Amino acid sequence: MKDIVENARQESFPMGQVVLGRQARRTLATQLRFHYPGVARVEFEGDSVVLTGRSAGAVGVADLVLRLAKELSSIPDRSPRVRFDSNGEGSIDLSLVDSNALAAAFSGLVAELEEQRALSPRGSYTDRIGTRTGRGLNLYSHDFSVLCDLLDRFIGNYFQRAYRAQRIAVPSMIRAEDVDRAGYFDTARQHISFVSPFDPHPAVYDEFPKFWSQRDPAGRGIADFLSAPEEVLTPAMCLHCFPVLASAAVSSEAPTIMTFSGRCFRDEKGNLNQVERLREFTVRENLFIGSEKDLERLHGELADFTIAVAALFGLDFRLETATDIFFGEQASQRTASQMLWDSKFELVALHDDAPDGVAVASLNQHHSHFTRPFEISLDDGTPALSMCLGFGIERLARAVAAAAGGHGLELIQSHLDRIGILDGVDSELKSTHHSSLEQE
């Protein structure tokens, strides 16, 4: 197996007298690969966890396995609740989707696709989807890059047309104090990468080239030449919006809606790969801030839109409940809360690169998790809540390319023509199949 490193060792660690369900095991495996990046594979055998990799026998692993297993044992053993399944039976009523906005956005995508085909580059270039430049870092080929751009703009255009969403542009860095205020250091610090420029003092700055050329491991470290960090690389796109609305009273008459795209950065250590777990990736985010009543209505519309996107691109997919991977003492409680309130849905696409499915979009109800610490309210004095729908652009592009049989622009255009996007958006949506809503 390619993920198993050379000279890897395998070791089994008991989990004690605890029984872990599906989600608890997934969380435990993710945490172990994060804390010990040299662990290439995590498996479960009976009441033990088996680690394979360079860190399998590292000091402290046994104690960590026991502690985490005990902490995570309270996570309910509950399967995802499937809302829609393209392989099920029956028809979907997608009347909540703005078909005019959807048709216009798709028409724009196809027109851009035709133009880009006419502008295809001359000469030889890599035809690989992703060329590895580092762990979790990819360099993409021309056609795949064009596909990513088209999908990103298509989603943004839909939200502008359907909701008059404000287009904003966000940077790749955000102030550490804002991330802290949002609670991210507590709930998801495993995603954080601090930005530390050089220390500007001449006595320190001028010494760095000499240090770097010698790199004496027993001597000074790189941190000795860097300034104290004040920013982090953006770990989640929507975090940019709450600080600028801090202490504001937004409209209670209509929700505040923003659409934006940018680069996210998450250093997930041993969980990184070159397909779905990337160090740097693109997200198209759509953020909604408003009343509980408005967001409840919008939630249904956004769920239908995610299904429309998957159906119109001919994906094999499910829309189902999901949970984030939390770390720390509150991990079990936070996971159970997401399960209880169904506050997270994921659009899961299945294809050859992801036979078990990979989430290409995520619909998240934040409730007051972000609006409360930033003191954002409605102008009628009632609490403001927030919700977001984000699309992982590279993941979505991979799924679309898989459905088309390749990422070449000609193949993509033939695929879109074949599934009849321009021949009737509304009829295409209503002919999609799904399973009935599973009961609790």
Domains, the chain, in order of start with CATH, read: 9-72 (3.30.70), 82-189+235-430 (3.30.930.10), 194-225 (no CATH)
Q: How many angstroms separate the CA atoms of 384 and 387, rounded?
A: 10
Q: How many angstroms separate the CA atoms of 115 and 440, rounded?
A: 48
9-39 confidence digits (pLDDT tens): 899 999 988 889 999 999 999 999 999 999 9
Helices (H), 189-314: 202-205, 208-214, 241-244, 292-312
10-residue mean pLDDT profile of the chain (440 residues): values are: 60 92 93 93 95 88 94 90 86 84 94 93 74 92 95 98 97 98 92 96 93 75 93 97 97 96 95 93 98 96 95 94 86 83 93 91 96 97 96 97 94 88 48 37
pLDDT at site 342: 84
3-state secondary structure of 7: coil
- CA 362 to chain centroid, in Å, comes to 7
Q: How many angstroms separate the CA atoms of 328 and 344, rounded?
A: 20
pLDDT at site 1: 39
Q: Which residue has the tokens 């799924």?
A: 399
Q: How many angstroms separate the CA atoms of 46 and 402, rounded?
A: 36
pLDDT at site 125: 67
pLDDT at site 388: 98
3-state secondary structure of 381: coil
pLDDT at site 129: 80
Q: How many angstroms separate the CA atoms of 345 and 387, rounded?
A: 12
**98 backbone dihedrals φ, ψ, rounded to 5°:** -75, 95
**206 backbone dihedrals φ, ψ, rounded to 5°:** -70, -20
**401 backbone dihedrals φ, ψ, rounded to 5°:** -65, -40
Q: How many angstroms separate the CA atoms of 189 and 173, rounded?
A: 15
Please report, to the nearest 10 degrees, the dihedral formed by the alpha carbons of residues 158, 164, 169, 173 taken in order. Answer: -90
DSSP string for 33-54: HHH-TTEEEEEEETTEEEEEET
Q: HSE-up of 156 (CA within 13 Å, CB side)? A: 19
316-346 confidence digits (pLDDT tens): 999 999 998 888 878 888 888 888 778 999 9
- Both structure tokens of 204: 């320190």
pTM for this model (two decimals): 0.91
pLDDT at site 3: 43
pLDDT at site 435: 36
